[in-house]
A and B are shown apart, each in its own frame.
Chain A
Amino acid sequence: KQEVTQIPAALSVPEGENLVLNCSFTDSAIYNLQWFRQDPGKGLTSLLLIQSSQREQTSGRLNASLDKSSGRSTLYIAASQPGDSATYLCAPYPGGQFYFGTGTSLTVIP
């Protein structure tokens, strides 16, 4: 069974900082990995999807990398803003279901 770990569990940074969120997973046999954002009490919003054949994916200030062989992915957020405050979840997809970590709770202080 896929185990997903996200570090750190919580992060508080001043506005404008660049930051890195880490995700590790135990089974490298995945089709892709997706990063989500979840606001309190809300659903999940997809941020980036990296296919297993890709090394990274970019969208605006977000950049996600994937090292499938070592079971690691990172989400890089540039020039953080208060609106980035949320919980970030990574989800490797081996087929059949998405496996989730418990997320990184990010607070960006104005």
Chain B
Amino acid sequence: EAQVTQNPRYLITVTGKKLTVTCSQNMNHEYMSWYRQDPGLGLRQIYYSMNVEVTDKGDVPEGYKVSRKEKRNFPLILESPSPNQTSLYFCATAYEGASTEAFFGQGTRLTVV
């Protein structure tokens, strides 16, 4: 079964405490990306990766880091979380190309206090 797995699903943390949200896919997709969803703003891309060791900034990359050491994993790192990073985060994966169909994880609800 095709799966995009995010962990954790829910997280409450304090300002400045480093955290990592993991994303793993079992479809051998080249493309992986992270989005955040905020009320009234919709989904905005944070970072994306077209393949192993290839990453690029999306529209809202400030305060985030990513790495792509293996094809199946694309962790999102918040080195020093702040309250304005409180949001619902989604990982998306796809084959790159004209027939690209995106698959999304179930989301991680992050609260930074």
> Residues of A at under 8 Å CB distance from B?
1, 4, 31-32, 34, 36, 41-46, 49, 51-52, 89, 91, 93, 95-98, 100-103
Q: Whose C-beta in chain A lies nearest to the C-beta of B90? A: A43
> Residues of B at under 8 Å CB distance from A?
33, 35, 40-45, 48, 50, 56, 58-59, 90, 92, 96-107, 109
Sort A-B residue pairs by CB-CB distance and give the 3 closest, nearest first: A100-B43, A44-B104, A102-B42
In the assembled complex, 11 residue pairs joining A and B whose CB atoms fall closer than 8 Å, in A order, are A36-B104, A45-B104, A46-B103, A51-B99, A89-B42, A89-B43, A96-B48, A101-B42, A102-B40, A102-B41, A103-B42
Task: Identify which of B97, B102, B106, B107 contacts A98 (C-beta below 8 A).
Answer: B102
Asked if B98 contacts A32 (CB within 8 A), the reply is yes
Task: Identify which of B50, B101, B106 contacts A49 (C-beta below 8 A).
Answer: B101
Task: Identify which of B35, B102, B106 contacts A34 (C-beta below 8 A).
Answer: B102
Complex: A29 Cα to B61 Cα, angstroms: 24
